Structure 1
Amino acid sequence: MKQQSLALHETMEVHEMLNLKTVSMTTSKMMEGVVFDQDLKALLEKDVQQSIGAINDLQRLLKKAPKIE
């Protein structure tokens, strides 16, 4: 069976989501170092872990993107 690939506009949208998630994860990780409240620090760490999972999923999706030659 032929593997399905993403359309060009879908590839662009996945790239945009990946960029947004990466920036969001980086911001949360940086904020962990300056936050003193332990509850907030725990929420930021949870956000980082969830973002890592989402980034991995988006990267897997991008493997289905068409190759431009």
Structure 2
Amino acid sequence: MENGNLAPNETMQVHEMLNLKTVCMTTSKMMEGVVFDQELKGLLEKDVQQSITAIKDLQNLLEKAPKLR
């Protein structure tokens, strides 16, 4: 990433992290609806908010990926 762009393998790895974080966030969001313990619900909400931030960061990082022509 010397020139500010991601290499193809880095782009693939960022995509994999983005996919994982999206699945984790979706799972936590769905679990919020079936959990009755308020402490656990609070942890799930915190996880969702942190995941949203991480997803935005990964999406910003993908803007540095080389564009296919």
User: 1:19 matched to which residue of 2?
Assistant: 19
Runs of 4+ deviating beyond 2 Å: none
Q: Which stretches in structure 1 are left out of the alignment for 5+ residues?
A: none
Q: Distance in 1 between matches of 2:20 and 2:4?
A: 25
Identity across aligned pairs (percent)? 78
Give the CA RMSD over aligned residues.
0.7
Alpha-carbon distance in structure 1 between the residues aligned to 2:15 and 2:48: 19
Aligned partners of 1:4 and 1:31: how far apart in 2?
39
How far residue 42 of structure 1 moved from its aligned partner, in angstroms, is 0.1
Q: Gaps spanning 5+ residues in structure 2: where?
A: none
The TM-score, its normalising length taken from structure 2, stands at 0.95
Q: Give the superposition deviation at 1:60.
A: 0.2
